[in-house]
A and B are shown apart, each in its own frame.
Chain A
Amino acid sequence: MSAETAGPETLGHLSEEPKGEDPGSSKARTITGKSPMRIALGRLLRDKIALVCLAVVLFFVFIAIFAGPLQKLFGVTTETAFPTQFLNLDGTPRAEFGPPYGGFTWDHPFGVAPRTATDNLAFWLQGAQNSLQIATTATIVAMLVGVTLGLLGGFLGGIVDRIIGFVTDFFLTLPFILAALTIAPIINERFRDSPNYPTIQVIALIGVLAGFGWMSVARLIRGEVLSLREREFVQAARVMGMPTRRLLLKELLPNLVAPIVVASSLMLPAFVAAEAGLAFLGIGVTTRPSWGQTLNQGIGFFDNYPLYLYQPLIAIVAIVLALNLLGDALRDALDPKTRR
């Protein structure tokens, strides 16, 4: 059997040899002049999924920030209604107020709620605001706690690290749902007389979410710090007599921006979902509109009025998915070693 006379292996290199670049040329200068952040941003901008997700997230952020003015624009409110004016005997809205039996109406673009006859659009907008507000605040709190403890534990080591490690492990062993189920009624009972009851409920919820969210961050940061603190620039700074606080804030923290950004971007959707889940179970915020509550109420009407259930459902799925994918894209962009 004869072999091909001119196979690729006999023709030598087909690939292009990198040409020797002149370090002084303009092309080389632009490459070396990019900061790591700009490189990451460039990668992110080339990622089409990330951009779509970013658009979705920005849409919801816009809704959340302008929930009040948007309600005024559409002429809807979250005020309690007198339901008999709007509803059939079985609790579904009458045809003139929109779905499920009637068509679209500008008075109630999303229709009215069964049983209570409140406006769906107003509740949906306000739900977005509450959801993002709670999730964002909880993320910030969890990050502050987690990063601080992670930095201290990793850098100081010794007894401090052991104590922080123990506390972290302890919190990890607490079952989240069980603890939330127990804490919510206690707090509600304790502060039920207070005129600030709604605010206290929100703060308590943020506390519960953040209290059960900081541990992974603390561990992540501690691991990063452990590897960073033996690096030359840290050793050099130490030798020069830099105080610990400055070391942590000026030398270590800037090098931890990437993991912190990635961790927050993945924590945010987890908190959005957790907030909705707790509201669904009836232990989240009960005094303000919430997507989870609407979900819970919508189940009984799914046969006759599926749109009522789909509104919060689609919103939750869209924002949680978008935030998750965006978080993944951010991680890929910031940390090329883990690229898929």
Chain B
Amino acid sequence: MRRTKPLAALAVASLMALAACGSGDGPSDTETGDFRETDAGADKDPDAEGPAPELEGAEAGGTITVFLPGDYGPDDLDPTNGWSVTGNSIQQALTSRSLTQYRVDEDGNATLVPDLAVDLGTPNEDYTQWTFQLRDNATWEDGSPITAEEVAFGIARSMDSTAFPGGPGTEYSTQFFAGADEFEGPYTDKDTDWTEWEGVEFDNDANTVTINMSKPFPDMDYWGAFMAMGPAPLGKTSQPPAYGQNIMSNGPYKVESFTPQDELVLVKNDQWDPESDPARHQYADKFVFKFNADPDQTDQIMLSDNTESQTALSTDLSAASYQDALDTLGDRLVQQSTQCTSFIYPVYGKTDLAFRKALAYAYPYEDAWQAGGQVPGVTRVPANSIMPPGMAGKPDYFVDGEQFTFDIEKAKELLAESETPPTIDMIYYEPDPLAVAANEVVVKAYEEAGFTVKSTPVQESPYSTYLNPDDKLNKSLNVRAVAWCSDWPSGSTFIPALFRGGATYNVGEFAEDAIDERIAGVAELPIEEQAAEWGAIDEQIQTEFFPAVPTAYYNQLFAFGSKIGNPSGDEALGAPNYKNLFVMP
């Protein structure tokens, strides 16, 4: 799942130059906080049953306001199109159910539990067919029951890469589900009726859905926790793009109003049955999400503890307020670990190994974080591998024997060995002053290391340049950057998306047949060996080819008002744990 916040994009742009730390000259007072790791919900409990356990002291009623500073939120609410941390964390917790889900305890530990299914699915021997038995008491917001056919239709929708180009189905459904060659999705494919597609079968009487795979897919239970693997009303009702502005809800809350990039108001859905749901609660009367809130204003509101802020929370506290928040908010300042890594990704075919290593030493890790508004050592720490901390199988190795640090002398030595011309062509996101500041620091560091740098400003997210193969500017770049977060706690959501030849977010155009084959081979291995194999692939990619410089692992800072009950985060999504929030009297 890529980070879609413009702020993150900016961090990404600046990441081109950042690496991490410890360059020695920046003694930051680390006693104030440190980085945290997460396993992002690697635990499973197939027997969890509704209703979800009551929380201690929880009471019904009240309105919870959520400020999302610098975060534009989703453009539409269509479950099939959702592939951003913000949109999925809100909708999966409150409005849109799927096959499975995460239950998050008070410490933020996530466990995979059933949602619309009564268990976590039953795979066949080689994981090429998964059967989900659905529960009978789940309903839509109008009271009608959710049928197996509607769930199957929702799954068929995720095959439509044309109607939902930014949806997660483009990476998982079309890669793993059977018959992806013949079926382009219910809206694009006019020749095939979706019920004739071999990928999904349903039985309304037995209330089961069966998914057929083209290759083994042991992570189907995790993929089932995406709202894209949930039901969609049949026929015209769910026609995109209109459905995205006016969705049918089936969670504990339904949409009262939605203004993209501005506000989302959710109210209680009285048709939702707590008995049918092992993880969600329905405490607050109303949720109000304020997208793109002013960061400084939000910090002031949260620190003031007035009546407005007591029942509010902020999803991103800025570094400028960090010290104040530590003093005044105490444990209402939640430092949420996320499974994200950012990379500088030089174009593989245009650079040699010495050049890429020189880049790793020339990047001013901590300085770029600080100029970009991050708190070094808290919201960003140095990265040594592709896979982020907490992910099963994360290897512990250092490409050069020790952590890359900002070291101009080493960069110069390596650059002298390199046969690549010492020029860097990159871009940065100009509308954000933080991105501009980080870019300046990075350019200065590169130039001191002996690179000739051309950093071109862009007005939209750098991703829109990177992902456009016809863009003249994009073709001229030899250093790009990407920040990536896991979709579920497995290397399979990380390494193929970035390092498989031809993958969408493989912005460094890395392609080695040996690696592609090894990635394809993971699915054939016994499940318990897969995590270690991803770790080994990670190490092989970096130590043999070093295509990308990992610059940082991410943490987020959430601030909760003093009357919000159960202030905690959701490690599976790296967002506040909306499922368990309530207003204290």
Contacts and interface: CB of A to CB of B under 8 A. Distances in A.
Interface of A: 79-85, 87-92, 114-117, 185, 188-189, 192-193, 197, 282, 286, 293, 296-297, 299-301, 303-304
B295 A82 contact: no
Interface string B431-445: 101101100110111
Contacts of A192: 456-458, 473
Interface in B381-434: 430-431, 433-434
A312 to B, nearest CB: 14
Interface string B17-37: 000000101101110100000
Contact of A89 (B323, B436, B441): B323
Given A88-B323, A89-B322, A115-B319, A188 B430 contact: yes
Question: DSSP majority for the B interface?
Answer: helix
B296 A282 contact: no
B433 A90 contact: no
Question: DSSP majority for the A interface?
Answer: loop
B351 interface: no
Contact of A114 (B320, B322, B459): B320
Contacts of B371: 83, 115-116
Contact of B296 (A84, A89, A92, A299): A299
Contacts of A85: 25-26, 367
Nearest to A296: B433
B473 A91 contact: no
Contacts of B376: 84, 89
Contacts of A81: 441
Nearest to A186: B459
Given A116-B371, A189-B458, A303-B324, 6 more contacts: A80-B441, A80-B444, A82-B364, A84-B28, A84-B367, A117-B370
Contacts, number: 106
Given A84-B367, A282-B431, A301 B459 contact: no
A90 B323 contact: yes
Contacts of B433: 282, 293, 296-297
B246 to A, nearest CB: 30
A84 B324 contact: no
Interface centre among A87, A88, A197, A300 (most CB of B within 10 A): A300
Contacts of A115: 319-320, 370-371, 373, 434, 437
B63 to A, nearest CB: 27
B375 interface: yes
What 10 A-B pairs are tightest by C-beta distance, nearest first? A84-B26, A90-B323, A82-B367, A83-B370, A300-B320, A80-B444, A80-B440, A300-B296, A84-B366, A185-B459
Nearest to A293: B433
Given A115-B370, A115-B437, A90 B319 contact: yes
Contacts of B370: 83-84, 87, 91, 115, 117
B123 to A, nearest CB: 47
Contacts of B367: 82-85
Interface in B205-259: none
Given A85-B26, A87-B370, A286 B457 contact: yes
A111 B105 CA distance: 46
Nearest to A282: B431
A90 B320 contact: yes
A286 B431 CA distance: 9
B371 to A, nearest CB: 5
B576 interface: no
Contacts of B296: 299-300
B378 interface: yes
B121 interface: no
Nearest to B456: A192
A101 to B, nearest CB: 11
A299 B300 CA distance: 11
Interface string B345-368: 000000000000000000010110
Contacts of A299: 296
A111 to B, nearest CB: 15
Contacts of A197: 457
Given A90-B323, A300-B296, A84 B23 contact: yes
Contacts of B185: none
A116 B436 CA distance: 10
A298 B91 CA distance: 36
A83 B366 CA distance: 8
Interface in B51-99: none
A116 B369 CA distance: 10
B430 A89 contact: no
B377 interface: yes
Contacts of B324: 90, 303-304
Contacts of B430: 188, 286
Contacts of B364: 82
A300 B375 contact: no
A116 B323 contact: no
Contacts of A301: 320
A153 B370 CA distance: 57
A131 B299 CA distance: 31
A287 B370 CA distance: 20
B318 interface: yes
Contacts of B373: 91, 115
Interface centre among A82, A114, A193 (most CB of B within 10 A): A82
Nearest to A90: B323
Contacts of B456: 192-193
Nearest to B322: A90
Contact of A304 (B23, B320, B378, B445): B320
B25 A84 contact: yes
Contacts of A303: 300, 321, 324
Contacts of B295: 300
A83 B322 contact: no
A152 to B, nearest CB: 39
B421 to A, nearest CB: 18
Contacts of B431: 185, 282
A165 B275 CA distance: 74
Contacts of B444: 79-80, 82
A300 B323 contact: no
Given A185-B459, A300-B318, A301-B320, A89 B25 contact: no
B439 to A, nearest CB: 10
Interface in B272-306: 295-296, 299-300
A90 B375 contact: yes
Interface centre among B30, B441, B456 (most CB of A within 10 A): B441
Nearest to A113: B437
A83 B441 contact: yes
Contacts of A83: 367, 370-371, 441
A282 B434 CA distance: 11
Contacts of B434: 115
B187 to A, nearest CB: 33
19 contacts: A82-B25, A84-B367, A84-B370, A84-B376, A85-B25, A88-B28, A88-B323, A89-B319, A89-B322, A89-B375, A92-B323, A114-B320, A116-B371, A116-B437, A282-B433, A286-B436, A296-B433, A303-B300, A304-B324
Contacts of B322: 89-90
B477 to A, nearest CB: 12
A85 B32 CA distance: 18
B228 to A, nearest CB: 33
Contacts of B378: 89
Contacts of B473: 192-193
A87 B373 CA distance: 12
Contacts of A297: 433
A314 B170 CA distance: 54
Contacts of B29: 88-89
A135 B26 CA distance: 40
Nearest to A301: B320
